Amino acid sequence: WSRGLGDVYKRQSLHCVKAWGRMVEVLRREGPFPDGVLLHSFCGPAEVVPGLCTLNAHFSISLSILRVKDQRAKAALNAVPLERLLLETDSPDSLCSAPGEWGEAFRLREAAEGLDSAINHPGNLPVVARIVARMTGRAEEVVAKATYQNAVRLFGGKDNP
């Protein structure tokens, strides 16, 4: 990152595991990011969210949020402003067994002969939306619509050139 993230790429996608303090420090030094920075498969603590928002961060949630203790996951999700929330499956990685209350996650079997491991599938996006909706007390439709609009705004698309 010595050349500066803002100088190298239009948008960044970052994944952080157990290094939130260091990552926030680097992003503060390199930011802000007018075109946005995406925190892939965000499972960080609620405390880092406000500071990251000031740097134009967006928070993408996957099934990995189920690996975080329930109260910590809810606190983190509720700290993220709805207009900065995105959904992902992290397919084909990160398939978590969603407890029955969340609905059964889709599983695909690898086609190669002799391999029988379950893998994640893009069809799990509605399961992620359902989890986020319940953990934040929002309607699934609200989460789905907002996260779609956020993705279009961040990445461009038919509604945002």
The CA distance from 25 to 139, in Å, is 35
Q: What pLDDT is attached to residue 76? A: 93
Amino acid making up residue 29:
R
Q: What pLDDT is attached to residue 110? A: 44
Residues of the chain where predicted confidence (pLDDT) is lower than 70: 1-11, 91-120, 157-161
CA 59 to chain centre: 5
Can you list the positions of beta strands (E) in the chain? 12-14, 37-39, 57-61, 85-87, 108-109, 118-119
